[in-house]
Amino acid sequence: METAIVKKTNKFINTADSVVDDSIRGLILSHDSLATLDCCCRVVLRADIDKLKGGKQVTLLAGGGSGHEPFAAGFVGKGLLSAAVCGNIFASPPTSHIMAGLNAVRNSSGIGVFVINYTGDRLNFGLAVERFNTDREKEDGEAEIVMIGDDVALENSIAGRDIGRRGLAGAVLLLKIAGAMAEEGKDLKTITATSRIINDNLGTIGVSLSACSLPGRGPMFELEADRMEFGLGIHGEPGFERSEYKTAKEVTKLLLEKLEKSQKLNLKKDEKLIVLLNNLGGTSQIELNILSGEIYSYLCKFYPYLIFPSKFLYSIK
């Protein structure tokens, strides 16, 4: 008989059960451009939502499990999302909360709904959009879903074929472009069609030196101190390989080669690239700077590119 003892990780929280609501409260109190619904505090929206709905602009909604901040509530604002629906940590929001969000941003021009590809999000957002479109008033525009799947790590595996491409940090770039298009007055069909083209040309792959952990619990998996995992998901899902520790240069080369050769991207020399270097939560700024330099050294010979290193989509530690 074996007994495993996993030490829980300490975090600045009040209780594990109040984490999401306390987080949203702090976000709203520190940003006067944001608000929550009276009927559902898990829906974060622009404070000027009534003015926005009164115009001809398409509204945009996204969401998913909490624990990935700033995604998605942190991207509510001008030129980005109109509203975000926040689930529990690493859990999709219920259909009733998504319906509340859709009703809060309903307007004559329609709603673009952006969903990162995970089973719970697909089911709950899909059902909510179906109900909204069935029950909407004649003067309301329809809601249309854009599914985002940018992970290339598992494309040759059985798991990858079964679950499809997981949604990762590349979603943030797509949301920014869609938000800019909505701000410019583009119609719903143009925004969703362009977003799907972007998704078809979007690839992401991750690497980690340590495990994520839920509030009040220990790490979600074990990873030895001298090992790293390639291709893991944002909820601690396994990747495609564990290996001994590698240098920043070696890691960069491995990841970029995987992206270059992926079935989804199949990059050609001289193609223009936008690179998001996402901090999943355990990487210091000095490490991001080093990785940015290695990305430059690898790409500069063959690809014109822009790079944006920051924390876009987090995996709570």
- Please state, in angstroms and as integers, the Cα–Cα distance from residue 259 to each residue in 187, 239, 287, following that order: 32, 15, 21
**97 labelled catalytic:** no
Q: What number of CA atoms fall less than 13 Å from residue 192's CA on the CB side?
A: 20
The token duo for 8 is 């829980």
Amino acid identity, residue 17? D
Distance CA 236, CA 74 (A): 22
Distance CA 292, CA 270 (A): 19
Active-site residue identified among 31, 68, 97, 235: 235
The token duo for 30 is 């520190």
Distance CA 246, CA 119 (A): 33
Run of H or E residues at 96: helix 95-104
Distance CA 233, CA 206 (A): 7
Distance CA 290, CA 42 (A): 37
Q: Assess contact for 71 and 101: CB atoms under 8 A.
A: no
Q: Assess contact for 188 and 142: CB atoms under 8 A.
A: yes
Distance CA 20, CA 248 (A): 34
**Residues with catalytic annotation?**
235
